[in-house]
Amino acid sequence: MESSKKLAFMSNGIKGEMKVPGDKSISHRSIMFGAIARGTTVIHNFLKAEDCISTMTCFKQMGLEIEEEDNKVIVYGKGWEGLKEPEDILDVGNSGTTARLMAGMLAGRPFHSVIVGDESIAKRPMKRVTGPLSLFGADIAGRRNGEFTPLSIRGGKLSPVDYHLTVASAQVKSAMIFAALQADGISAIKEPVSTRNHTETMIKKFGGDISNENGLITVSGGQQFKGTEVRVPGDISSAAFFLVAAAIVPGSTLVLQDVGLNPTRTGIITVMERMGANITVVKSKENNEFEERGTITVETSSLRGIEIGGEIIPSLIDELPVIALLATQAEGRTIIKDAEELKVKETNRIDAIVSQLKVLGADIESTEDGMIINGKTELYGGTVDSMGDHRIGMTLAVAALLSKEEVTLKNADAVNISFPAFYSDLASLSIT
């Protein structure tokens, strides 16, 4: 059922300290590696949101024992062999990460499985994964010749590959790495540009081996993993909404603690610095963490328009909707380009954010591979729609803080996909 929410508007500042929920990408992968490791894996600060719960549910269907406690998840792994044929279809809900990475894992398992998802997943391209996986010898069929879910996977023996990725996608890369870990030999995977490397860091965390030399990833099949303890950092993609809110709402000072600072994910910080944001990052000095983390402080800032494109795009692809909002409050023109990947997210995020920010009065136009924003503009009230996309919904909720009149958000509960406490956290920091 469609949910509508009247949003807080005309905030007098974002003030306080907070921790954002655990990183979504790392939470997914911690379950997956915990599943194929031998022994117990304890995951602290696991993101208990819809997408990651979908991953957990799918692996429970394959016989994995998982216990949930207040602030941790315990996975009792039995190695690759511990995964058993599910009795029913594997429903990933809204999670493209679950669908694509799990396809790579299941390609080498000696049983039949079927992956389905919601209406959004049914529209998202899967050939980018099923095509490369077929080169390993994987037997995967899907709607429209493997382009869309449902995906039917008859797992079996895999051979190593030497493959150049045609799309900069951490999900495609990770699916291939999971297949390569089951192949009989050494695989080489070349990235066009660097993408988030959580799968690679996780392999090392669980006692495995993988190398990346200038974008050429080599991985051996037949590796065994050991259960371990994982402390998931705060999700910088969730933090981004609060970073932008504090930068654009007058009278703000915000401190975000224990945020993941993996260099393949910090494009949002680089862009905010280039736009003139008053932002400070202090990295944690703990040396035993497998992922960098730290504290970020942001204050209300005078911003300027810039051009954003090229190799930085994969490191901020999920933050581009809220960066578009940031640009509406910057003096001058901001151009976002090379961001075609936004078209195949939960929605076409270029069309979604452009159309909805226009409703609020933004001077913004879509282009073939991004958008052009002219600032600085005042924002007004209106009825906007997340279109079922969590990142569009959260961006519009932040926009409402600047709006002169009331904003009503349709499909407001989309935020539950990654950040169930988003509205209450935002309200607790906003001065009315």
25 known ligand binder:
yes
Return the structure tokens found at 353.
């954010």
Say if residues 363 and 374 touch (Cβ distance below 8 Å): yes
- Annotated catalytic residue 413: no
* Distance from chain centroid for Cα 222: 28
pLDDT given for residue 285 in this prediction: 80
393 known ligand binder:
no
The values of phi and psi at residue 27, to 5°, are -65, -45
> Could you write out the three-class secondary structure of 119-130?
CCHHHCCCHHHH
349 known ligand binder:
yes
Q: Which CATH architecture has domain 24-219?
A: Alpha-beta prism (3.65)
DSSP 201-234: HHHHHTT---EEETTEEEEESS--EE--EEEPPB
Return the structure tokens found at 173.
């890369």
Q: Which of 23, 51, 235, 318 is catalytic?
A: 318
Return the structure tokens found at 387.
């279109």
Say if residues 300 and 250 touch (Cβ distance below 8 Å): yes
Q: Write the CA distances from 276 to 96, 236, 270, 377, integer angstroms.
A: 34, 19, 10, 17
* 24-219 and 4-22+233-429 share a CATH fold: yes
274 known ligand binder:
no
196 known ligand binder:
no
96 known ligand binder:
yes
Say if residues 334 and 367 touch (Cβ distance below 8 Å): no
List residues bridging with 263 in a β-sheet: none
pLDDT given for residue 2 in this prediction: 74
pLDDT given for residue 71 in this prediction: 82
70 known ligand binder:
no
| Conformation bin of residue 352: beta by default, left when phi > 0, alpha when psi is -120 to 50 | alpha
Instruction: State which amino acid sits at residue 242.
Output: F
Q: Which CATH number fits domain 4-22+233-429: 3.65.10.10, 3.40.50.150, 1.10.10.10, 3.40.50.2000?
A: 3.65.10.10
27 known ligand binder:
no
In angstroms, the CA 191 to CA 212 distance is 10
The string of pLDDT tens digits covering residues 325-358 is 999 999 999 999 999 999 999 999 999 999 999 9
- Kindly list the domain boundaries of the chain, sorted by start residue: 4-22+233-429, 24-219
Mean pLDDT per 10-residue section of the chain, whose length is 432 residues: 83 95 98 99 97 98 96 96 98 98 99 98 96 97 96 98 95 98 99 96 98 96 98 98 98 98 98 99 86 98 98 97 99 98 94 98 98 98 97 98 96 96 95 82
Instruction: State which amino acid sits at residue 128.
Output: R
**Which of these, 275, 280, 298, lies nearest to 375 by C-alpha position?**
275
Return the structure tokens found at 315.
């490191």
29 known ligand binder:
yes
Q: Write the CA distances from 301 to 125, 250, 330, 414, integer angstroms.
A: 39, 8, 9, 29
List residues bridging with 280 in a β-sheet: 297
